[in-house]
Each structure stands twice: as C-alpha cells, then as structure tokens.
C-alpha cells in the first residue's frame, strides 16, 4: 500500500503564513491552530460576509458571520489540538475549561450567594398564616429575612412594633406579651423592607386529655384527643404547640396522630402555651386469645358481641400483675363489660380497666348485657398485659 503523506507541508505553510492581522487570528494561533488553516477559514468567512452584506444587508451578514464562526469553531479547536503540540493542547484544554467554568461560576454565584434583604416573614415560612400565641409569658417573635432569590439571611437588625388591634406589648426586639385574648397586628422592618402579620393572642393555661392511650400494633393511627383551656376554663381552638413522644420506637407521631410501632409503654406529651399534658401510651400486639399469655406480653384480642353474648378466656397463674382493659372502638357508643373470676382486682384508670393479681390463674369474661332496643353488635378490643412485677 502506497501512502501519500507530505509531513513537511505544515512546516511550509507555517513559514509562508503572514503575521496574524486580527485579534481572532491571534487568539487562534496562540491556541495552536494551524496558521494557514486559521488564515484561510477567517479569510473565507470575511469574503463571504462581504457578499452576504452586499446582497442582504449588514445585519443579516453579521448574523450569518456569527453562525458560521460558531460552526467553524469546533474545527478550529480540533485543528489546534492536532497541530498545536503539547503546549497548544494544554492551551486548548485550559481555554475549554475556562469556557465551561465561566457559566458554572456565574450560575453558582447566582444560586448560592446571598443578595440584600428583600422580604420578611414573621414567625413562620407561610406568609399567609397568622401568628398564634398561646402563652401569657413574654415570647420572642422571630422573623425570617430573605433575599430576592429566597435565601435566608441572618435576622439581625429586625425591628418590631405594635401596629393595630388588641393592646399587646411588643418590644423593638420582638418580645411579645399577650395578656388577654384578642387579635393585633405587629410590624417588622429591616431598612426599607417591612411586613405586617396578624397576631392572635389566645392564652392557654391548661391542657387536658385522656388518662391513658391504648393502641394496637398494625392498627390505624389515632387522633390524640385533648382540650386546651384558657385562664377562665373556656376551650381554645387556635393553637400552636408541640407534641412529643417518649420513645419513638414504640409509637410514631404522624402530624397530630399517633400510631403504634411495637408493643410497649411510653408517653405522649402536649405543650401548648402555658399548659402541658402528658399521659402514658400502651401499645398491644394483636392476638386471637389471651390464653397462654407470657410474662411481659401485651395482647390485643378483638371482641365482637351482640347483646346477651359473652366471651371467656383462661389466664395462666402469674406472680406479676395483670392489666386488663376494654378498649372501645372510636365510633362505639357502648362498652362491653369485663369481669375477672379468681383474681384480686382494683380499678386501674377507669371503670373498664383493672389491675389484677392472679397467682392461681383467673378467668376473664367479656359480655354485653341484653338490651331492649336492637343495638348493633359491640365491636372492641380486650387488652391484656401480663406484667412481670407484682
């Protein structure tokens, strides 16, 4: 095979090339583009541009030139890579890196840098929500300072004042004291940026809820029933508080609802304004029967009985206490009765809950009295917890 190669041509062309006349040419040659190649391409572009300008006007020619120059750019760069030598290739790589970095830096600067304060949001990220205050103690109101792009800035220098409505004490630093129920407007400002929020003073002195919560593992999440009361004992409905649980491996909070994860005991706590309430939460695992229950087990046995019907189970002898509870379904109006035979029991937390000692075993009965009206069958859960301690 005969190869036609003229390796000396490039050298001849380089020496024959005139000195670069335009800035573009100088840039291309500095990048390492073949001098003759760059000269020819730029010369052809200039000549064609003049023709286009004569035929279609200078503006069209300008656009044509930009388009063609962009189309030629990859070939010029490739030529520089081919003929530029190691230094030329390094320069091309550097140039391409800069070309790629500039937009990235511009984007990053815009995306991540903070601008001047453009917006204030009092208390919450939801600008349309009112600010609810349930405490009568002095409370710090905070404002979020945002720039135009929504970046949070340090909330320093924000000044507050009462604007209108109910008489509420507001310091310049944003400490608010609600003594009486009522609505007021407070204004926050930082330089020329200002905002107003409605403050709903709803003092809460006391929070009340059930003495115990019983949950079944695998069952639906339940609302945590509670009631918030003002200093005069009246219910308060506008609330801003916090709910927490003692052991989130046993129960899980889902908003204001609670769900059992595993069998066990923990507590749930509600803190609203100046009141707080906490109560134990027992969770039980489902089982068809309490018979054979082991020490430490907590079982939930579904019960469905019509009027006049009864269920009976045998509990094994135990040195520890039994805790037996009839748990009503949420919508159930009536409750089945529970009785234990052979055990010594005291009431636990209501009339349907017992703490029982059964060292020789016991029988637990669940029954629904026969009633005159045709009530629907009772549906609920018998919860039995065999404690290891007497």
The footprint of another protein (CB under 8 A) covers: 1-7, 9-10, 13, 16, 18, 21-22, 34, 36-37, 39-48, 50, 68, 71-76, 78-79
Nearest distance from residue 155's CB to another protein, in Å? 56
Cβ distance to another protein smaller for residue 49 or 386: 49
Nearest distance from residue 42's CB to another protein, in Å? 7
Cβ distance to another protein smaller for residue 75 or 110: 75
Cβ distance to another protein smaller for residue 57 or 377: 57
Cβ distance to another protein smaller for residue 57 or 235: 57
- Assess contact for 157 and 126: CB atoms under 8 A: no
Nearest distance from residue 45's CB to another protein, in Å? 6
Rounded CA separation 310/75 (Å): 92
Nearest distance from residue 79's CB to another protein, in Å? 7
Strand order in the sheet with 310-315: 310-315, 362-367, 337-341
Cβ distance to another protein smaller for residue 36 or 381: 36
Nearest distance from residue 80's CB to another protein, in Å? 12
Rounded CA separation 141/185 (Å): 13
- Assess contact for 348 and 362: CB atoms under 8 A: no
Nearest distance from residue 43's CB to another protein, in Å? 3
- Residue whose C-alpha is closest to residue 162's, from 182, 188, 190, 143: 188
Burial 285-322 (b: 16+ CB within 10 A, else e): eebeebeebeeebbbbbebebebebebebebbebebbb
Q: Around Cβ 44, how many Cβ atoms within 10 Å?
A: 12
Which pair of tokens denotes residue 218? 């695998």
Mapped onto helix, strand or coil, the DSSP state of residue 31 is helix
Cβ distance to another protein smaller for residue 36 or 134: 36
């Amino acid at each position: 095979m005969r190869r036609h190669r003229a390796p000396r041509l490039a050298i001849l062309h380089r020496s024959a090339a005139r000195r670069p006349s335009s800035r573009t040419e100088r840039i291309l040659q500095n990048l390492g583009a073949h001098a003759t190649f760059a000269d020819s391409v730029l010369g052809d572009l200039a000549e064609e541009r003049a023709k286009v300008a004569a035929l279609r006007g200078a503006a069209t020619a300008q656009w044509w030139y930009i388009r063609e120059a962009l189309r030629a750019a990859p070939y010029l760069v490739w030529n520089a890579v081919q003929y530029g030598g190691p230094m030329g290739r390094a320069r091309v790589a550097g140039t391409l890196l800069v070309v790629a970095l500039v937009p990235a830096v511009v984007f990053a600067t815009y995306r991540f840098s903070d601008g001047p304060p453009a917006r204030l949001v009092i208390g919450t990220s939801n600008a349309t929500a009112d600010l609810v205050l349930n405490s009568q103690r002095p409370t710090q109101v905070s404002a979020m300072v945002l720039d135009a792009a929504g970046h949070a800035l340090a909330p320093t220098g924000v000044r507050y004042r009462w604007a209108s409505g109910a008489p509420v004490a507001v310091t310049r630093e944003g400490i608010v004291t609600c003594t009486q129920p009522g609505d007021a407007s407070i204004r926050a400002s930082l330089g020329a940026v200002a905002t107003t929020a409605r403050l709903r003073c709803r003092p809460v002195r006391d929070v009340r809820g059930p003495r115990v919560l019983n949950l079944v593992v695998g069952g639906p999440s339940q609302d945590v029933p509670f009631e918030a009361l003002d200093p005069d004992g009246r219910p308060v409905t506008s609330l801003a508080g916090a709910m927490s649980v003692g052991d989130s491996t046993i129960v899980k909070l889902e908003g204001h609802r609670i769900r059992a994860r595993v069998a066990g005991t923990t507590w749930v706590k509600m803190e609203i304004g100046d009141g707080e309430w906490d109560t134990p939460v027992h969770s039980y695992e489902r089982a068809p029967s309490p018979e054979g229950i082991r020490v430490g087990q907590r079982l939930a046995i579904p019960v469905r009985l019509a009027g006049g019907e009864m269920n009976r189970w045998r509990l094994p002898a135990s040195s520890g206490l039994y805790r037996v509870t009839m748990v009503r379904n949420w919508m159930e109006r009536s409750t089945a009765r529970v009785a234990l035979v052979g055990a010594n029991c005291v009431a636990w937390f209501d009339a349907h809950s017992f703490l029982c000692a059964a060292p020789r075993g016991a029988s637990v009965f669940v029954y629904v009295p026969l009633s005159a009206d045709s009530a629907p069958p009772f549906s609920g859960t018998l919860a039995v917890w065999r404690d290891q301690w007497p």
